[in-house]
Amino acid sequence: MAASETAKDLALRHAFGNVLSFFILVLIGVLAFSIRLFSVIKYESVIHEFDPYFNYRVTQNSCKGKKIMLVEEEAVFVCYLCLEEEVDNELIGNVYCSIIGIRLTYVAGDMDLLWFQFLTKNGIYDFWNWFDDRTWYPLGRVIGGTVYPGLTLTAGTLWWILNSLNIPLSVETVCVFTAPVFSSIAAWATYLLTKEVKGTGAGLTAAALLAMVPSYISRSVAGSYDNEAVAIFALIFTFYLYIKTLNTGSLFYATLNSIAYFYMVCSWGGYTFIINLIPMHVLLCIVTGRYSSRLYIAYAPLVVLGTLLASLVPVVGFNAVLTSEHFASFLVFIIIHVVALAYYIKGMLSPSMFKVAVTLVVSVGLVICCAVVAVLVALVASSPTKGWSGRSLSLLDPTYASKYIPIIASVSEHQPPTWPSYFMDINVLAFLVPAGIIACFLPLSDASSFVVLYIVTSVYFSGVMVRLMLVLAPAACIMSGIALSEAFAVFTRSIKFQLPSLSGVSQVDAGNSDSGSAATTQTEAVKADKIEESTKERPSRKNRKKEKETVEKPSVKSRIEKRLLVLPLESSVIALLLLVLLGAFYVVHCVWAAAEAYSAPSIVLTSYSHDGLHVFDDFREAYAWLSHNTEVDDKVASWWDYGYQTTAMANRTVIVDNNTWNNTHIATVGTAMSSPEKAAWEIFDSLDVKYVLVVFGGLVGYPSDDINKFLWMVRIGGGVFPHIKEPDYLVCWRIVAMLSFDRICCVIRDGQYRIDSQATPTMLNCLMYKLSYYRFVETDGKAFDRVRRTEIGKKYFKLSHFEEVFTTHHWMVRIYKLKPPKNRIRGKTKKSKSVRVHYLFSMTRRSSPLLSHNSSSLLSICCFHSLFGRKLAQQQAQKEVEQERIPGIKPIILETVVTPGLCNTYFPNRHDDRTKRLQSLLIL
Amino acid sequence: MSTLPSFLNPNLEKSQRRQRKKDEVYSARSAAHSNRRYTVFPGSIGSTYLYNRYPCWLSVCDPFLQIDLASQIVRIATTLKVENAGSDPVSEVLFAFPDHQAKNLALLVATTTEGKGKTKSSSGSLPIEAVHPEGMPPALTWYTVSLPKGLGKGESLTLDMMAVFSHLLRPFPEKITQGDIQLVVFQDSAHYLSPYEVKRQSVRVKLPEPKVESYTKLENTKFSGSEITYGPYENLPSFSYSPMAVHFVNNKPFAVAKELVREIEISHWGNVQVTEHYTLLHDGAQSTGEFSRLDYQARPQVKGASSFRNLVAMLPPRAHSIYYRDEIGNISTSNIYSDSTKTLLEIEPRYPMFGGWRTSFTIGYGLPLHDYLFHSEGKRFLKIFFGCPMNEMVIDNLIVKVVLPEGSSDISASVPFSVKQGQETKFSHLDMVGRPVVVLEKTNVVPEHYQHFLVHYKFNSLSLLREPLMLISGFLFLFVACIIYNHADLTISKSSASYLAKLQWDEVQASIQQVLNIINRCIATHDKVEASLRDLSRTGDAQACKAARKAADNLLKELSKELKPLLTFLQSSSQAVQILPKVEELVAKERELQDRIMSKHSTVVDCYEKKSSGRDFDNRVAPIQQKITALRQEVDDLIEVIDEI
């Protein structure tokens, strides 16, 4: 009777505990979701950042049945492309442009949204084969092969499910809320992982910590539709399944693990972290003599299945077996088989026989290994970067980037973090992590050793690159969860143990039995009660739940430890209080970070002044203007930062965008921006650009404008086109010294970037300067730039090749139109005439066999081509002229007089100025 | 303004009575499209086109035309008195507009005012029909107004005509720069164009500003303030026409919605949600050249005179949850002023609208249902405004969609003017069959179309509960499915070895758990015994201590009894082979621990009773205590080991 009753009681308590932890998990999910909604509540439900608009565009326009180009990567790629590597968007995320210390947040959700829209409309196969001609004009971009489709597919599935349930959420809404939803799921995955390592209490604590860790919030606020949002979930879940497999030895979980790994590969380039960390752990286990069949089951299927699955993702493809990032896993795969064989043979043979066998196997194995390694090394060494991508190299050698790729160095996200950024991003967790590591060693299991390895490696990587703080955050949460949970367990246990039976404790503590006085016990009991109450009212759920867990725990274990670790009542009470304070501080910090630091969308800016809130919605003003008041086929040139947004919000073709896979192209735009007006006009005209967009913050003091980024345009442009030289744009110290001869303090300014009257003439005549400051002086009469805090150097000038067509309310975005070329004046433009003639010819020759002597048809074909991609053809023509492949055609064309009427016959519906241009072109 | 084309041949004025013939009625549309150019009426036709049906012995006295050009919409209000000069009663009156006006005619309303001037009683609008009398000059479009009752001989009637035209003002020049003002041309006849003789008439043209570039100067033309008056002219023959043109400054917003989709969604939970999607165009003179924000900000009145910055929407009172956004998000430049009679929504597009610039946006608001939904004869009907709430906006193509709740039937819409009706289905939140949508389309809509229309339908209130019930049952099924899944045994082969082994293993685990429970209780009893010892040291009550020991003894015996069947089960079970030794060891150790504790207890009590010295006490108890501690440690370890299995 009694036994069954206790069993029932126990079962009930178990059930109660389960229900309780279920509710706590639900609440954690709600917390993780809602803490990320500040951006939506304070601003609105839009994709917030510059980059996320790419994805949005894909989805949207494809819904209209229009194919658009997907572009999703970002600045970082510039670097990689410098290395001439394949596209890799692992580094999408917040890029802090470090020019003049200004921080710019980029999140790459845009583009994901666009893909997603495309996906929802056209299905997966069209998605893979999608060629987007809206970006990187005139190159275009193959989407399927250049994006990590995980996020897009995820959101697409969500959208599809909702819509098939007749819940008509818009694509945009789904995209905005994907990140918060997935951070909830990531919190649950953290719970699972930590539970596998250290039990439910630690799991719940870690989940609560992760739900609000600022580092993760920064990438997953509502509206940042970003790869990292789902990738962190995938990362944690993959680790959980690995540990689960390791603990159970179940092949089922091993298979799930491979699938989770596949999802991670789909989502983020950071999957290489997994495929290196797990082999490291396996190796660690083997070395420390922890090899078991469970380890084999956890690892071998993952490598085989995981690699096969990973190579299904078009972006990864053969990289899954070809690049050095994956070699560690294969090497360990071999090692684990050798070890497995060794254990197997050991079981079969007698000890003496085994010794013989060992020598045999070791010698043979060594030879084979050497051979394999040699082959691998040879293969790897044959590739220019030794098989390592620039990112990985800069990870392994922190100085690599700054030494070889200045553009990588330019992105401050790739700089080592500063101490404040640790405090900002993981806050008190930084102090709890060491305690967690210690707790993991008591006792050390396979799982806890994995977590220790995880935190150690991620600390290293985060020390190399700021953005990898994101990988550190879950590890720190797990460790701190373990630490907090253990600490609470110890303290509450001490209190609980001392409260009901004070003397019992003292008996065990030997000798103290008689000293305990009832009076003190009484007061302490009251105190402890109070504490228990106060802990229940704690702001964060995490502490309460953990404490409940420990109290609830019916296990015998706690009983044992109870006897082992009992702390004095007073100190445990105080320690508990302090821990609660620490937790409260963490919560306050996280909420602040979520509300203030990370929720401001870069697309809408706000400022508070004495007369209330000011909204700077200039970006959208400009994009809306572009989308409604320009032709659909017009090309817009801007610095790549605004590429995604222009394609997504303004729906116009751009020259370069945040997926910076082609450095030359970016350099062309950079060169144009840093050239004088006429040269810039020619470059833009050759790219068929019709509008040029610049961002100018001088009027309202918006610091991350194009003038502040201008030096990078010069550098990147100069990297490809040597006639652009950075020193030309910088004030050299000698000049400064001359100008300020009587002021010696100024002499030390060497190579300073400035736009005031001391700036170099090159600087003052470049296109970017002119477009930014055009008629700026008339605003206040002095032309005082509020960002640079100086008066500008050249105040009065006119534009001859560009005209202002739109400027937003706060002048933050200025759009200029290329003026049509002036009518040709006879005799003056001889050179260009011949070029045009050749161009006409070459186009005809290439396109039609009837080029021969029927000059009118020839010209009509020429005209036709001149309307489509004239400049490209022109270049080709020039080339052919140089090669002298077109003899005799020049006279023919020169003799032909084409009347404007001919043009009209062929292009009655053409746009006016185009026709005009054509006419001027044809009347030779 | 002599350069302007003359529309009608002056000969026309001289044309006299015409022969009558029957004619056919054409639709207004085909008439409007018949000819775009202003052809000259040949005099010969003029004499042959009136028939029985449209007797021409009416004469029109004192028509007074008021042409309102104050905005982009042209409103021509005509007050005229019709007299029957013939013998037969007349029931219809003919009106004509030149084609170029008629094709832009948005609304034509005629009312009569009966009585003699002072005791006016408006009898509502009269039916108007577009007709196409045969033989008439093709550049005119004809309408007949049916009089409420036949007009007998010598009787007269006062008619009020209101014609509203959109797109009638032509910007001239068509392209202007940012700093230019917008000039528009209006062309009409200074004489009242009528098939009847006109006794005396005058025209008054009202302009938005007292600035006129030029205007046709005829006899009796007066220009004062912002008004131009032509006339009075007396005794005009039928079809007299005197071209008149005004070229004037009009900087009023030429806001034209190329398309407006209004979606009115009824929720019987108490809300009418209105969503309006605008595609807006500034239809005035095209803006060319540079747009300088500097100039615009410095002197908006001069350098942006032709542009408009904001629009005002007059929403119904008690409108709530108003939003204003476009496809890329919220637009922050809007204001709301509301009182009990109206809600004024002032919105600014993202950028100032210059000529030819376009934009698109969406506004939405909710209205309380009970203000707009009524019952009659077992049916419900929605009574809500048709047109657009924006001030002085022309809508080229208006689509009104009324989304009725799911399950509505017998749907019919009645609109006071002709519209194209259709039906479609919309799927919204959790719909099964979709919601019926009444689609009403109308082109060329002006603010005068902001009138009530009705949508009748039948709806059972119980259908309201459909969706909540669906949700509830959905979750119920989900939970039930979970419960069933948890309780059902989904094993395919119930006789397979692994399945049986699993069952056995479960039993073994359960019994091991029980064993552990019992051991735990034993340990708890030990603690009690220890506690009684402490009590002893405090109170000195040896009897109580002994009693406690006895009770503990009994309890332990009971527990060991309970333990026996479990152990025998474990021994018999094949699955427990691995764990059995541990369990047995645990039981043995526990028993030893029991003995030790009892012996310690008896020793302590013994010492206490004998009042032996502290050192003696220590000597006797200490070794036992050591063993107890060691044993306890072992037991704990064992428990932990077993627990982990």
More confident position, A285 or B126 = A285
At position A644, the amino acid (one-letter code) is Y
Q: Which of A347-361, A674-688, B367-381 has the lowest mean pLDDT?
A: A347-361
β partners of residue B183: B249
Question: Which of helix, strand or coil describes residue B380?
Answer: strand
Q: Which of A719-723, A907-911, B572-576, B633-637 has the lowest mean pLDDT?
A: A907-911
Residue B314 CA to residue B296 CA, distance in Å, equals 28
Residue B203 CA to residue B210 CA, distance in Å, equals 17
Closest chain A residue by Cα to residue B530: A504
Instruction: Choose among B328, B331, B643: nearest Cβ to A557.
Output: B643
Give kind and range of the element (H or E) at residue A803.
Answer: strand A802-807
- CB atoms A803 and B290 under 8 Å: yes
Token readout for A67 is 């194919």
**Cis-peptide, bond into residue B232, ω within 30° of zero:** yes
| DSSP line for A213-264 | -HHHHHHHSTT---HHHHHHHHHHHHHHHHHHHHHH--HHHHHHHHHHHHHH
- Chain A CB contacts of B431 under 8 Å are 166
Q: Which of A47, A98, A93 is nearest to A407 (CA)?
A: A98
CA distance B97 to chain A (A): 34
The pLDDT value recorded for residue A412 is 57
- Chain B CB contacts of A173 under 8 Å are none
Residue A3 CA to residue B172 CA, distance in Å, equals 101
> Phi and psi dihedrals of B264, rounded to 5?
-110, 110
- CB atoms A503 and B534 under 8 Å: yes
Ramachandran sector of residue A612 (left: φ over 0; alpha: ψ -120 to 50; beta: rest): left
Domain assignments of chain A as residue spans, ordered by start? 1-63+112-226+418-500+567-602, 251-387, 514-558, 613-818, 829-923
The pLDDT value recorded for residue B7 is 38
Closest chain A residue by Cα to residue B353: A625
More confident position, A302 or B18 = A302
Contacts with B382 (C-beta within 8 Å, 6 or more apart), sequence order = B264, B266, B272, B372, B373, B402, B454, B455, B457
- CB atoms B558 and A3 under 8 Å: no
| pLDDT level of residue A752 (50, 70, 90 thresholds) | confident
More confident position, A744 or A846 = A846
More confident position, A424 or B118 = A424
Question: Which of helix, strand or coil describes residue B179?
Answer: coil
Contact between B595 and B628 under an 8 Å Cβ cutoff? The reply is no
| DSSP line for A752-785 | B---STTS-HHHHHBHHHHHHHTTTHHHHSS-EE
What confidence tens digit (pLDDT) does each residue in A611-668 have?
777 888 899 999 999 999 999 889 999 988 888 888 888 888 888 887 766 778 888 9
Interface check for A517 against chain B (CB to CB < 8 A): the answer is no
| pLDDT level of residue A880 (50, 70, 90 thresholds) | very low
To probe the interface with A, which of B328, B357, B403, B522 has the most A CB atoms within 10 Å?
Answer: B328
Contact between B322 and B345 under an 8 Å Cβ cutoff? The reply is yes
Give kind and range of the element (H or E) at residue A408.
Answer: helix A406-410
Contact between A191 and A25 under an 8 Å Cβ cutoff? The reply is yes
Contacts with A89 (C-beta within 8 Å, 6 or more apart), sequence order = A72, A73, A74, A77, A108, A146, A147, A148, A227, A269, A315, A659
Instruction: Choose among A44, A167, A556: nearest Cβ to B520.
Output: A556
Question: Which of helix, strand or coil describes residue B93?
Answer: strand
Mean pLDDT score, A220-239: 89
- CB atoms A809 and B358 under 8 Å: no
Interface check for A89 against chain B (CB to CB < 8 A): the answer is no
Give kind and range of the element (H or E) at residue B424.
Answer: strand B420-426
Handedness of CA B334, B339, B340, B344 (dihedral sign): negative
If one looks up domain A613-818 in CATH, what number appears?
3.40.50.12610
At position B271, the amino acid (one-letter code) is N
- CB atoms B537 and A513 under 8 Å: yes
Interface check for A621 against chain B (CB to CB < 8 A): the answer is yes
| pLDDT level of residue A31 (50, 70, 90 thresholds) | very high
Is it the case that residue A101 has pLDDT exceeding 50?
no
- Chain A CB contacts of B325 under 8 Å are 44
The pLDDT value recorded for residue A409 is 54
Instruction: Choose among A167, A563, A775: nearest Cβ to B292.
Output: A775
- CB atoms A504 and B534 under 8 Å: yes
Residue A320 CA to residue A326 CA, distance in Å, equals 6
Is it the case that residue A363 has pLDDT exceeding 70?
yes
Q: Could you tell me what percentage of chain A is helix, strand and coil, using 3-state DSSP and rounding each to the nearest 5?
A: 65, 5, 30
Chain B residues 533-562 with a CB less than 8 Å from chain A: 533-534, 537, 558, 562
CA distance B237 to chain A (A): 48
- Chain A CB contacts of B625 under 8 Å are 510
Query: Which of the residues in chain B have pLDDT under 50?
Result: 1-52, 117-120
The pLDDT value recorded for residue A704 is 83
Mean pLDDT score, A677-686: 92
The pLDDT value recorded for residue A384 is 60
Dihedral, CA of residue B606, residue B607, residue B610 and residue B612, to nearest 10: 170
- Chain B CB contacts of A781 under 8 Å are none
Mean pLDDT score, A320-334: 86
CB neighbours (10 Å) of residue A3?
18
Cα B263 to chain centroid, rounded: 6
Give kind and range of the element (H or E) at residue B188.
Answer: strand B183-189
Contact between A335 and A286 under an 8 Å Cβ cutoff? The reply is yes
User: Do the bridges between strand A813-818 and strand B58-68 make them parallel or antiparallel, or are there none, so unpaired?
Assistant: unpaired
Residue A485 CA to residue A545 CA, distance in Å, equals 10
Interface check for A378 against chain B (CB to CB < 8 A): the answer is no
The pLDDT value recorded for residue A49 is 61
Residue A174 CA to residue A165 CA, distance in Å, equals 14
Closest chain A residue by Cα to residue B470: A165
The pLDDT value recorded for residue A824 is 63
Residue B541 CA to residue B547 CA, distance in Å, equals 10
The pLDDT value recorded for residue A684 is 92
Question: Which of helix, strand or coil describes residue A609?
Answer: strand
Residue B24 DSSP one-character state:
B
Is it the case that residue A871 has pLDDT exceeding 60?
no
- CB atoms A649 and B328 under 8 Å: yes
Instruction: Choose among A167, A501, A628: nearest Cβ to B430.
Output: A167
Interface check for A255 against chain B (CB to CB < 8 A): the answer is no
Residue B555 DSSP one-character state:
H
Contact between A915 and A902 under an 8 Å Cβ cutoff? The reply is no
CB neighbours (10 Å) of residue A139?
13
Tokens 């703080």 sit on residue: A469
- Chain B CB contacts of A807 under 8 Å are 291-294
CA distances from A85 to A63, A384, A408, A461 (A): 32, 10, 14, 22
The pLDDT value recorded for residue B402 is 94
Instruction: Choose among A555, A628, A779: nearest Cβ to B294.
Output: A779
CA distances from A757 to A579, A707, A769, A799 (A): 58, 15, 13, 19
| pLDDT level of residue A856 (50, 70, 90 thresholds) | very low
> Phi and psi dihedrals of B342, rounded to 5?
-160, 165
Outline where B63-121 has alpha helix (H).
99-102
Is it the case that residue A511 has pLDDT exceeding 60?
no
What confidence tens digit (pLDDT) does each residue in A517-568 have?
333 333 333 334 434 333 433 444 444 444 444 433 344 444 444 455 678 8
Question: Which of helix, strand or coil describes residue B135?
Answer: coil
What confidence tens digit (pLDDT) does each residue in A366-392 have?
898 899 888 878 877 776 655 566 656
Residue A228 CA to residue A241 CA, distance in Å, equals 19
Q: Which of A325-339, A847-861, B115-129 has the lowest mean pLDDT?
A: A847-861
Interface check for B57 against chain A (CB to CB < 8 A): the answer is no
Average pLDDT over all residues of chain A: 73
Instruction: Choose among B290, B325, B328: nearest Cβ to A805.
Output: B290
Residue A88 DSSP one-character state:
-
CA distances from A744 to A731, A733, A749 (A): 16, 11, 10
- Chain A CB contacts of B282 under 8 Å are none
Contacts with A100 (C-beta within 8 Å, 6 or more apart), sequence order = A703, A708, A753
Closest chain A residue by Cα to residue B563: A3
Percentage of chain A beyond pLDDT 90 is: 28
Closest chain A residue by Cα to residue B534: A503
Contact between B642 and B596 under an 8 Å Cβ cutoff? The reply is no
- Chain B CB contacts of A7 under 8 Å are 510, 513-514, 517
Token readout for A388 is 């390592």
Outline where A64-170 has alpha helix (H).
76-82, 109-128, 150-164
Is it the case that residue A736 has pLDDT exceeding 80?
no
Mean pLDDT score, A160-165: 87
